[in-house]
Structure 1
C-alpha cells in the first residue's frame, strides 16, 4: 500500500468542509447562490477523493469503499492509507 497522495490529502478535507458549508446553508441561510458555488466544489472533491484513494490503495479495496462514504469518507480513507502497513491488529 502506498502512502496517500497529495491530491487525496487536499481533496479529503475540502470534501468534508464543503459538505459542512452546504448543510449549514440548508439549515440557516437557504441561499441558492451559496449552493450553486459550493455544490460543484463538493462534488468534484468527492470524486477526486474516491479516484485518488483507488489509485493509492492498490489491492486494499477497504480504503476505496471508505472513500465512497459521503462527507467523511475521504478522511477515513486518508487515515487508513496513512496507517503503518505492519500495525498490530486491534
Structure 2
C-alpha cells in the first residue's frame, strides 16, 4: 500500500498540470478567463514547490536546482529527495 502523497509531490503535479493547461490554452483558443484563473494557480504551485524543496531536510543541491525548473522540476526534485532518503530505491516499483 502506498502512502498518501507528500505536499511537494502534490504541488509538483498541480504545477505541471496547470502549465499544460496554460500552454494548451495559449496554443488553441486563448481564453483570457482561463489564463486569469490558471496563471496565479501555476505561479503559487511553482513557488510552493521551490520553497518546499529548498526547505526539505533531505534535499541536496541537485534537488534544489531541479526544483527551479518550471513544470517538471518539482517532480525531479521529489524523485531526487526520495533517492537521497532511501538509497535502495533506484527507480523500481514499490513492493
Which TM-score applies when normalising by structure 1?
0.84
Cα offset for 1:57? 4.6
8 Å Cα contact 2:60/2:81 also seen in 1: no
CA RMSD in angstroms comes to 1.9
Q: Which runs of 4+ in 1 moved over 4 A?
A: none
Per the alignment, residue 16 of structure 2 pairs with 16
Tell me what 1:71 maps to: 71
Shift of 1:52: 0.5
Structure 2's unaligned 5+ residue stretches are: 91-95
Residues 8, 49 of structure 1: 8 Å contact kept:
yes
Equivalences for 1:1-90 in 2 at 5 Å? 6-58=6-58, 60-83=60-83, 84-85=86-87
Structure 1 distance, partners of 2:41, 2:23, is: 14
Q: Secondary structure at the residue paired with 1:29?
A: coil
Which has the higher relative contact order, 1 or 2, with Cα contacts under 8 A spaced 6 or more apart?
Answer: 1
What TM-score results when the alignment is normalised by the length of structure 2? 0.79
Secondary structure in structure 1 of the residue aligned to 2:60: coil
Superposed CA offset, 1:35-90 (max 9, x none): 000000000000000111111155611101000001110011011111223678xx
Equivalent-residue separation in structure 2 for 1:52 and 1:59 (angstroms): 10
The structure with the largest helix share of the pair is 1
